[in-house]
Amino acid sequence: MIRIIFRQLTTLALSFLGITLIFFALTQLIPGDPVIINYGNLTPGSEEYLAAVHAMGLDQSLFQQYLIYVDNILHGDLGRSNITNKPVLSEFFTFFPATFELSLIATLIALIFGVLAGVLAAVKKNTWVDNLVISSSLVGYSMPVFWWGMLLILLFSLNLGLTPVAGRISYVFDIEPVTGLMLVDSLLAYSKYEFAAFFDALRHLILPSLVLATVPLAAIARMTRSSMIEVLNADYILTAQSKGVSRWKIIWVHGLRNAMIPLVTVIGLQSSVLLTGAILTETIFAWPGVGKWMVEAIFRRDFPSIQGGVLLIAFFVIFINASVDLLYAVINPRMRRPK
Amino acid sequence: MKLLHIENLSVEFPTHKGNVRVLDKISLRMNQGEVLGVVGESGSGKSMLALAIMGLLSPNAKLTADYLSLNGQDLMKLNLDQRRKYIAQNASIIFQEPQTSLNPCFNIGTQLIETIELHGIRRRKKQRQRALELLEAVGITEPELRLKQYPHQLSGGMNQRVMIAMAIAAEPDLLIADEPTTALDVTIQSQIIELLLELNRTRDMGLMLITHDFALLSESTQRVCVMYSGQIMENASTDNILSSPRHPYTKALLDSIPHIGERHHMGQRLYSLKGRIPAIDHLPVGCRLGPRCPRAAKECVKTPRLDMIKQHGLVRCHFPIPSSTQVEGERND
Amino acid sequence: MSEVKIYKDTPIPGRWQQFWQRYRRHKGAMLGLMFLLVILMFALFSPLLAPHDPTEQFSQFLRYPPAWTEKGINEFLLGTDDLGRDLFSRIVYGSRLSLGLSAAVVLIAALFGILLGAIAGLSKGIIEFAIMRIMDIILAVPSLLLAIVIIAIIGPGLPNAIYAVAIVLIPHFVRIVRATIKEEMNKDYVIAAKLDGANGARLFTHSILPNILPPLIVQVSLAFSTAIVDIAALGFLGLGAQPPNPEWGTILSQSRDFIQLAPWTVTIPGLAILITVLSINLVGDGLRDALDPMESRG
């Protein structure tokens, strides 16, 4: 186990180096004067300009510049936004909890319903239940997220008036950001609003998380189904049946436990899909998260924010993937101790 | 009371070309404590027969039988759940690949204790004790350690012993061993067979030994049932079959066994049947062995019946081979 | 002498015939193929099929609903948008953009992906390591975000969107090509061919290419549907095709403000995207099952 953790940490470090290298190369490609891009409009030749040149190491070799770049990242210095002039790192962490909350709930929805639907379809293979799961998961898998979001807004928010159109919580509630997770923060404000704020936050969360969950849910359902069908054909399922193990236990214990192993990898890959979806979902629902922040940064040509933001998101995805690999080793006994 | 009594058992599978019959009117009887060998090439339906008896056919398979009873209970009168439960109490099965027959995600202890628990032992301590007993009974060393290990950490032979331990946990009256040694090393094979025979003797447990290896059956079984393309071709006592096979297919199987030092001399070719076993949805007309049979004649396009031959057993052939022992006997007279 | 037919003989179909037989059995895949052919027709013959120019503004017919509704008129089958443009014509011309652009994207991605994958698969050590690490990192950045970053550097607009989406799709091709090459190179029949003195070129054409084709075809279909969605998403975010281009995602982003006044300008272009992507995915599923007979039973 320790060996596996060590290997994951090595991979993590290597990926970190690789990412910084690629991003450093990308920054060389950004058209225009790097000083002006990163520090705003300074007059070339002025004292401030020269200081900036020195700070970025532009008067040194490319390799030195890269070392400075990595060193800055390791110190948490990702530069300052040239619009708000705040450090990119702190900007990122003001927006990140909203994205994290949305993605977490969406992941839970996708996981629970995806696995349920997949198992059901596998058990009822070639029946109408199976066909329903197959066809609806194919539609969900093909769904353009941005349109799906608009459609649900049209139906539930505008026509039926059931859910809010945008944002995380109504303006009437004044919630102090403690954790940054609105569901938690609204509960912390219990003394002020009792459950009213919590339910309001929940109502805001339902539609965006459903929209965001759709594609991963469909993917998980499809994978669970095929993985489960394969597992249910295995010899050890026959053994369990011949022993007289109940059908319920065969499916949910003997079957799912094995089917989960290939699934974990897929779920890890979905984290990248999920964040892509989050960019679009946040744009549609005016959800103040990292995705919306990134899109706005591009329109404002706020390069330090784009660079820093994407770098952090990439780290996040790599971290998630490393954790998933670790989880894979935990749930797969064959990975633990070779013969 | 027969241990196992099968009359005209057939199994069909629906395919996009219509139903395919993989077992055709199989009839079999086994006495308590008997050792029956079932032999045939791969694709002959012998494993399907084992699954059919154990009630393990996939749900789309259609099983029909005039009579199917285990330990006196007519299985056709039970619904699926009752049948599975009854069979689990009275019969066990072990498969060809011990590595894939055990669940890779659980350790040996969990799987063994699951079985023990299903047979009525509730207390943790007793379950563990029984598990250790069973592992010792099948000759596994360091049982304490094995309980904690996973299937991939044990050798094939060891896993097969675990499978046998799980099979006898239910104290069944019938144990079906479906090619139990095919996937194992040659030296381990005889150990496993010896273990199975020992359990058969000491526990008075009927044993159905399914194999494609005639040599294995010759020393261990009382009766042999030869299958080909989903049908029984010959069913007789092991002695009769070995001394004088009456069906051309049985003879071909026997002739294909290499013998060290006898029968085959250096440079002599080993006998084998021409061609391959036909696909089950692509069967020849009449006798299923027809196109491959050295004795085939015009009449073989008509389907032969499984007929009784006196002082021998059941044979499905229009032109059975004359008995060699009888010929010898006549000469001696 | 009359011959006795012992076996019920059926001729054994050839490789492509077998493939088509298996594909045809898939009802969904056939449906997808039909839809795809219709969309392809729309794209190829847009000028003939579209009743109007996609950018022509009929100022007296602003926001007319589709023809089947009470207020709709037959002149505009799917209604008009806020500038009085015929939605049906825009959708028809949009199919040209959607299919054409994604075809270009897939072509670029496949070309570079296969090349890099072959290099990685046939080489060992630092080159392979470098290529695969870079691909891993590209995969770690969410596809749309990476496309956005690339556009941020090279600027918005259609050609740049094509490059961006293509770059995002390259790693998948590299991985598949490399994995197949590695797998095949270790198989006994390749070793046998090597021992018989087959050179690299022959090995590639005779053993690797035939085995790489099935997963590659499946990957192309996957890349195709991703390309369509991503191009539309970029258009929707205002980073891809620019108005008045009738690209489906761009149409959607413009209709967003009129979602309540003219909901059909939102539902119809989105439906067009969904149907196209769905058809491609159906065809992709069918291809995968038909090309891999071992898995088709699942």
Whether the pLDDT of residue B265 is over 70: the answer is: no
C12 to chain A, any CB pair closer than 8 A? The answer is no
Q: Which of B169, B182, B160, B185 is nearest to B100 (CA)?
A: B160
pLDDT at C10: 63
Lowest-pLDDT range of A265-274, B56-65, C235-244:
A265-274
Chain C's closest residue to A227, CA to CA, is: C298
Q: Which residues of A touch C140 (CB under 8 A)?
A: 15, 19, 272, 314, 317-318, 321
Q: What is the band of B332 on the pLDDT scale with cuts at 50, 70, 90?
A: very low
Q: Is the CATH code 3.30.930.10 the one for domain A88-336?
A: no
> DSSP secondary structure string, C72-83?
--TTSTT-B-TT
pLDDT at A339: 40
Domain regions of chain A by residue span:
2-74, 88-336
Residue A188, phi then psi, degrees to nearest 5? -65, -25
pLDDT at C260: 82
pLDDT at A103: 93
B223 vs B282, more confident: B223
B135 to chain A, any CB pair closer than 8 A? The answer is no
Contact status, residue A294 vs residue A336, Cβ threshold 8 Å: no
Whether the pLDDT of residue A338 is over 70: the answer is: no
- Interface touch C25/B282, C-beta < 8 Å: no
Interface test with A, best of B103, B149, B175 (most A CBs within 10 A): B103
Whether the pLDDT of residue A41 is over 60: the answer is: yes
C136 to chain A, any CB pair closer than 8 A? The answer is yes
Q: What is the band of C1 on the pLDDT scale with cuts at 50, 70, 90?
A: very low
Task: Please state the rounded mean pLDDT for residues C7-16.
Answer: 67
Mean pLDDT over all residues of chain C? 83
Task: Please state the rounded mean pLDDT for residues B53-82.
Answer: 85
Buried b / exposed e along C114-148 (16+ C-beta atoms within 10 A):
bebbbbbbbeeeeebeebbbbbbbbbbbbbbbbbb
Q: Which of B65, B48, B38 is nearest to B13 (CA)?
A: B48
The rounded percent of chain C whose pLDDT value lies above 90 is 20
Contact status, residue A34 vs residue A27, Cβ threshold 8 Å: yes
What does the pLDDT look like over C112-164, one tens digit per residue? Answer: 999 999 888 888 788 888 888 888 878 877 788 888 888 877 777 788 888 88
Residue B246, phi then psi, degrees to nearest 5? -100, -25
pLDDT at A171: 76
d(CA C234, CA C227): 10
Chain B closest CA to A135's CA: distance in Å?
Answer: 22
pLDDT at C150: 82
d(CA B169, CA B121): 11
Q: Which residues of A touch C277 (CB under 8 A)?
A: 142-144
d(CA A245, CA A252): 12
Lowest-pLDDT range of A90-99, A311-320, B141-150, C11-20:
C11-20
C-alpha distances out from residue C84 to A98, C56, C88, Å = 39, 8, 12
C28 vs A269, more confident: C28
Q: Which of B99, C268, B236, C156 is nearest to A154 (CA)?
A: C268
Q: What is the band of A272 on the pLDDT scale with cuts at 50, 70, 90?
A: confident
d(CA B26, CA B21): 12
Task: Please state the rounded mean pLDDT for residues C174-200.
Answer: 83
Q: Give ranges for CATH 3.40.50.300 in chain B.
A: 4-221
What does chain C come to in residues? Answer: 298
Contact status, residue A92 vs residue A100, Cβ threshold 8 Å: no
- CB contacts under 8 A, B 39-98 vs A, are 51, 54, 56, 60, 84-85, 87-89, 92-93, 95, 97
Please name each of the domains of chain C with its CATH number: 41-297 (1.10.3720.10)
**What residues have CB less than 8 Å from C265, skipping those under 6 apart?**
C63, C79, C81, C82, C87, C251, C255, C258
CATH class of the domain at B4-221: alpha beta
pLDDT at C7: 59
> Is residue A85 classed exposed, middle or buried when 0-12, 13-18 and 19+ CB atoms within 10 A define those classes?
exposed
- Output the CA angle B95-B98-B100, nearest 5 degrees: 95
A297 vs B288, more confident: A297
Contact status, residue B5 vs residue B53, Cβ threshold 8 Å: no
For B252-312, where are the E strands, in sequence order?
Answer: 306-309
What does the pLDDT look like over C224-236, one tens digit per residue? Answer: 999 999 999 988 9
Chain A closest CA to C1's CA: distance in Å?
Answer: 49
Task: Please state the rounded mean pLDDT for residues A238-244.
Answer: 89
Neighbours of chain B (3+ CB pairs under 8 A): A, C
Chain C's closest residue to A314, CA to CA, is: C141
Cβ-Cβ contacts under 8 Å between A and C: the total is 128
The rounded percent of chain C whose pLDDT value lies above 70 is 94
C126 to chain A, any CB pair closer than 8 A? The answer is no
Q: What is the band of A147 on the pLDDT scale with cuts at 50, 70, 90?
A: very high
Whether the pLDDT of residue B267 is over 70: the answer is: no
- What ipTM was reported for this prediction? 0.84
d(CA C97, CA C91): 10
Lowest-pLDDT range of A122-131, A181-190, A284-293, C107-116:
A181-190
Q: What is the band of B256 on the pLDDT scale with cuts at 50, 70, 90?
A: confident
Contact status, residue C266 vs residue C252, Cβ threshold 8 Å: yes
